[in-house]
Structure 1
Amino acid sequence: MNLDDANEPVVVMGVGGAGTRMLELAAATQSAASSTRWIAINTDLASMNLVSLPHLLIGATGLPAVCSANGREAALYSALDLAEVLGGTRRLIVLAGLGGGVGSGATPEIVRLAMEMDIDVTVGVGMPGKWEGSQRHEQASTGLSALQGLGCKVEVVCFDELSAELPPSTTLDEYSAELTKALLEKTAA
């Protein structure tokens, strides 16, 4: 999926660890001359130091957000920085994995802010697999409900459904690439 085919420049934002991984995979598929802007958002300073794309550390601690409440607080704490990053944006695609603290907690706040700035927002989220446990599923469901309640376009790919379509020997990196591809096809349209 080539985002340069869009009528206007697009900002693609990866939120949280999974969102940042999807962002890096998506950016690797675009041409060097792409007018698409890429930005990774996370609370975890150690993981952000490994990101080669432009990024913004949110929150006050530099530590991972272990629950969605921490992710939400980090986004609210960094609202002015987020607004500066989003300044001049007309179309935003947000990629996130739900179930963790930043993806489930910060993503709805970032989307709310973007919509308040009259930005056209589309969100692509990956839902956790059953094997990831009930806490991640609860946080993912809460995050998804919050996103859907904002009235923006939300595209969902579920781990269990996608993994059922892939060979059992699929590695996590291959799965991540397939998830990214599926979400980009849905969100870039």
Structure 2
Amino acid sequence: MDTAVKSLWEKAFGSGAGAPTQSPGFQGRLESANNVDWEQKVSEEFDLQMHKAKIMVVGCGGAGCNTVSRLTEMGVTGAEVIALNTDAKHLAITKAHKKLLIGRDTTRGLGAGGYPQIGEKAATEQRAQIKQLLEGVDLVFITAGMGGGTGTGSAPVVAEIAKSLGAIVIGAVTMPFKMEGTRIQKAEDGLAKLRQVTDTVVVIENQKLLEYAGQMPLAQAFALADELISMMIKGIVETITVPSLVNLDFADVKAVMSCGGVSAICVGESDSQSRIKDAVIKAINHPLLEVDYSGALGALIHIICGPDCTLAEINEAGEMISKRLSPEAQVIWGARVLPEMTGKVQVIAIVTGVKSPYLLGPMQKEEAIRTKENELGIPIILK
């Protein structure tokens, strides 16, 4: 991670200074699972050919390709990374396992010019190739920047194809700055289309970047969003593909993500004396999202810790997050122990069905404000 981005990351998600004093809670009854061939082990012990969930990450457009490049650099176990773009030059420098230039006849490799309808046409033009790439997939992450041409237009097409193949589809998108005028309307229209063809969409508001990266160079500020989405995807993928202490499998992810709606990424990390509490507080007060967790439909919580972490600590993290949600929310949690995480803990949660005034759209937003004013009997002034 770039030093400047690392500094922003720590400011946003936390890094403690002290070392925890708890006695080892899991040592002595755990063996390392990282180097085990689980398919072979299951086959030998149970005479069963284990189905391995096929997971893909698809980056659409410039912003999506930047994110998958970062994910590829980080390395992700158990997922195939694919990049789609209408801009041939940008696609050429993108890092991914597979690449597809879409809209060859429509854009001739020169981009969509900020027009979502061109991005949509480009993806439709290569529909057969996209379907071939996604054949047999169980879970697809589609990442894009809303408000431009290629990502906004092509992401819903890719999602619709993936859904037609029976996959669980999770969108992960960024929304424009308030100053970006017409891009905001394009983004809201694109998000509305994407929500119709996905199980859930995780949203990051670029506007919130200003609070933490307003004085940083533009590239480094956007790198923070790429880092966040990549961490979220890597966390979920490796929760499924790499055995955990408290396991989360594909069925768990499917159950929570099928709750639908808009989702929030929650990431917190700490190595302080009160590491669990600090990490959870960082997670639920996430700086890149403006959301209300009350009434959320579900949560997938994954805790990564060292062998010195206790079961009580892990349980505390799950309870702290659960208390912020509706009593009816479906909450599934798991934990993974890594030697390199000794003395610290990372909490990654995907909370589905959250409320966000920013995501209502202009007309619905105004109606929501009028309703609230009628309830309270006072005017509401938006910042």
User: Given the alignment of the two structures, is residue 161 of structure 1 paired with residue 195 of structure 2, yes or no?
Assistant: no
SS in 1 for 2:93: coil
Question: Hey, what's the Cα distance between the residues in 2 that align with 1:58 and 1:151?
Answer: 21
Shift of 1:48: 1.4
Question: Hey, what's the Cα distance between the residues in 2 that align with 1:49 and 1:140?
Answer: 26
Shift of 1:148: 1.4
The Cα offsets for residues 35-78 of structure 1, whole Å up to 9 and x where unpaired, read as: 32111100111221222322101112222012000000011111
Q: Which residue of 2 aligns with 1:16?
A: 61
| Within-5 A mapping of 1:103-114 | 103-114=151-162
Question: Hey, what's the Cα distance between the residues in 1 that align with 2:64 and 2:139?
Answer: 18
Question: Hey, what's the Cα distance between the residues in 2 that align with 1:52 and 1:26?
Answer: 9
| Cα distance change, pair 29–182 in 1 and its aligned pair in 2 (3 A) | same
- Name the stretch that deviates more: 170-179 or 55-64: 170-179
TM-score scaled to structure 2, two decimals? 0.44
RMSD after superposition: 2.0
Q: Which residue of 2 aligns with 1:75?
A: 123
Q: Which residue of 1 aligns with 2:343?
A: none
Question: Hey, what's the Cα distance between the residues in 2 that align with 1:137 and 1:168?
Answer: 19
Q: Which residue of 2 aligns with 1:102?
A: 150
1:48–1:57 contact (8 Å) kept in structure 2: yes
Determine which of 95, 100, 115 is the counterpart of 1:56. Answer: 100
Q: Which residue of 2 aligns with 1:175?
A: 221
TM-score scaled to structure 1, two decimals? 0.87
Shift of 1:110: 0.8
Question: Hey, what's the Cα distance between the residues in 1 that align with 2:183 and 2:90?
Answer: 20
Question: Hey, what's the Cα distance between the residues in 1 that align with 2:198 and 2:78?
Answer: 27
- Name the stretch that deviates more: 178-187 or 112-121: 178-187
Question: Hey, what's the Cα distance between the residues in 2 that align with 1:109 and 1:137?
Answer: 20
Give the aligned residue type for 1:57: L
Give the aligned residue type for 1:175: A
SS in 1 for 2:78: coil
Shift of 1:186: 5.0
| Within-5 A mapping of 1:4-153 | 8-30=53-75, 34-53=77-96, 54-59=98-103, 60=105, 61-66=108-113, 67-131=115-179, 133-153=180-200
Give the aligned residue type for 1:21: N
Q: Which runs of 5+ in 2 are unaligned?
A: 1-33, 35-51, 237-349, 351-383
Q: Which runs of 5+ in 1 are unaligned?
A: none
| Cα distance change, pair 167–142 in 1 and its aligned pair in 2 (3 A) | closer
Number of matched pairs:
180
Question: Hey, what's the Cα distance between the residues in 1 that align with 2:215 and 2:54?
Answer: 38
1:155–1:186 contact (8 Å) kept in structure 2: no
What fraction of aligned residue pairs are identical, expressed as a percent? 26
| Cα distance change, pair 28–76 in 1 and its aligned pair in 2 (3 A) | same
Name the structure, 1 or 2, with higher relative contact order (CA <8 Å, separation 6+).
Answer: 1
Shift of 1:184: 4.0
2:136–2:165 contact (8 Å) kept in structure 1: no
Question: Hey, what's the Cα distance between the residues in 1 that align with 2:90 and 2:75?
Answer: 23
1:14–1:20 contact (8 Å) kept in structure 2: yes
Larger Rg: 2
